[in-house]
Structure 1
């Protein structure tokens, strides 16, 4: 794990900084003697306990990787990267990072360090390989992030869990919290055809309830783009999101077989930027 990442991490037990890990040690150690192994795949488990949720499965992660690699969410990816490019240089943290797709694109060839946070081990295995200056750590935002106070220039939260108080602690004054949430029309065609989970009509209110105590909104953008999907793409879209936990894969596959290609859908996302109060 790159030193530029390790310097911003903190021990989840005592909050002390870590010393740099050597390739031979493959562990992070703090001055108090707490030690956390760096997995063979390159990520560090800093949960120091059992996470509330174990995150996406291997199948869900593979579906997300395939869908993003096909470029169907390029409009969102580019918009997120554009926001980060306008901010002051510094570490970028992605919470619920999955494969670290948005993080890798956002830091690009800059000198910014990237910290990918997730509870899913299959996701972290991929995130650890997303870029030389990206460090992948297993942590649960609800239990606290093992990251130094005010370390991040930007926090990315793309369809991920949110903790306003913890984000405010980690983000530097004047930094940016970038949040992407599904809008009303997101994948509406697939929702109707396949009986997927619908977007909560109160999502905007819930977002403000989560963040208003610690942040103020500074910018908002609606991102809409038509999608032309193969059946495989559509199946990946179902398999990478919350509907994967609530649908029968065989029934979804059968329904998709009856739909002519390309399958039309709509990317419809609200992208908001928040600043610390």
Structure 2
């Protein structure tokens, strides 16, 4: 809930601390931000932002697909890596979406003596996603923000950050990670959903993606362990449609052409899920 993370938040206008007054966040400079009835709060600095948030339809598709357990091995790998690190303090998920992975990680972290457990901050630009994230776990606070602008978190606020299929802002991740803190980053390999890319005309993953990620994060964080997580999926035609609808290809796919291509696929379709889980340290 929002009160679990308020001590880690910063005003997006002046970067000063925020305090919760009823359902409103206020800073000493007089800026205020009302909590939506769905549980999230928007800490966007003004109306302008640099990204396009996931639509309600994309969020619904992702929620259904994740709830069915198709990507459980990815969530388990994240949780195992997080539990091994045993962070004490805030877990912030940049590009948290529905809060699925953050919830899984929070459940895997043991609570210390006299502590209810780590608080979690779900950060995303999509209010549709954060409506779900705010309800996904009792220790998650959901915050609308832009990943490419200064994050509404205090310096050295997070013990652990997650970034799963989401934008990565190296300077800001370093700023909000405490010394000794860790980022766990999940990115697709070029084999991810490869059986569907050509067949359905989906966006492909660059074979050099991991190298490019390391080049962009290198000035700010030190790379650590890396794990390859690859597993087979057996997806019905409806589930294949959901995969398309929940990801970036949803913005670039013609519905009529997709229907025709889907009809040519075997049902169920054998598909490969393939991601890299990488640790980076401050």
Superposition TM-score tier, normalisation by shorter sequence: over 0.9
Q: Structure 1, residues 30-87: CA drift from partner, whole Å, max 9, x if none?
A: 1111101111111100002221113111111111101101111011010011111122
The offset of 1:205, in angstroms, is 2.3
Which among 136, 140, 158 is matched to residue 134 of structure 1?
140
The offset of 1:141, in angstroms, is 1.8
Task: Note if 1:123 corresponds to 2:129.
Answer: yes
Counting only pairs closer than 5 Å after superposition, residues 196-211 of structure 1 correspond to structure 2 as: 196-211=202-217
The offset of 1:108, in angstroms, is 1.2
CA–CA separation in structure 1 for the residues paired with 2:101 and 2:138: 15
Partner of 2:245: helix, strand, or coil?
helix
Task: Note if 1:75 corresponds to 2:62.
Answer: no
TM-score (norm 2): 0.94
Q: Structure 1, residues 167-187: CA drift from partner, whole Å, max 9, x if none?
A: 001011111101111101000
Partner of 1:209: helix, strand, or coil?
helix
Runs of 5+ unmatched residues, structure 1? none
Aligned residues: 273
Which among 62, 65, 71 is matched to residue 63 of structure 2?
65
Q: 2:245 — aligned with what?
A: 239
Partner of 1:31: helix, strand, or coil?
coil
CA–CA separation in structure 2 for the residues paired with 1:253 and 1:96: 29
CA–CA separation in structure 1 for the residues paired with 2:217 and 2:3: 31
CA–CA separation in structure 2 for the residues paired with 1:74 and 1:230: 17
Task: Note if 1:44 corresponds to 2:51.
Answer: no
The offset of 1:93, in angstroms, is 0.4
The offset of 1:142, in angstroms, is 1.1
CA–CA separation in structure 2 for the residues paired with 1:259 and 1:275: 43
Residues 53, 115 of structure 1: alpha-carbon distance in 2 compared, 3 angstrom cutoff: same
Q: 2:114 — aligned with what?
A: none
Partner of 2:123: helix, strand, or coil?
strand
CA–CA separation in structure 1 for the residues paired with 2:255 and 2:33: 37
Q: Structure 1, residues 201-243: CA drift from partner, whole Å, max 9, x if none?
A: 2212220121000111110000000000011111111111111
Runs of 5+ unmatched residues, structure 2? 112-116
The offset of 1:256, in angstroms, is 1.7
Q: Structure 1, residues 7-41: CA drift from partner, whole Å, max 9, x if none?
A: 1101111111111232xxx2111111110111111
Q: Structure 1, residues 85-119: CA drift from partner, whole Å, max 9, x if none?
A: 12222110001111010001100174100000000
CA–CA separation in structure 1 for the residues paired with 2:249 and 2:174: 30
CA–CA separation in structure 1 for the residues paired with 2:154 and 2:43: 13
Cα contact 2:3–2:141 (8 A) shared by 1? no
Q: 1:35 — aligned with what?
A: 32
CA–CA separation in structure 1 for the residues paired with 2:56 and 2:217: 31
Counting only pairs closer than 5 Å after superposition, residues 174-213 of structure 1 correspond to structure 2 as: 174-213=180-219
CA–CA separation in structure 2 for the residues paired with 1:259 and 1:142: 38
TM-score (norm 1): 0.95
Partner of 2:204: helix, strand, or coil?
coil
Runs of 4+ deviating beyond 6 Å = none
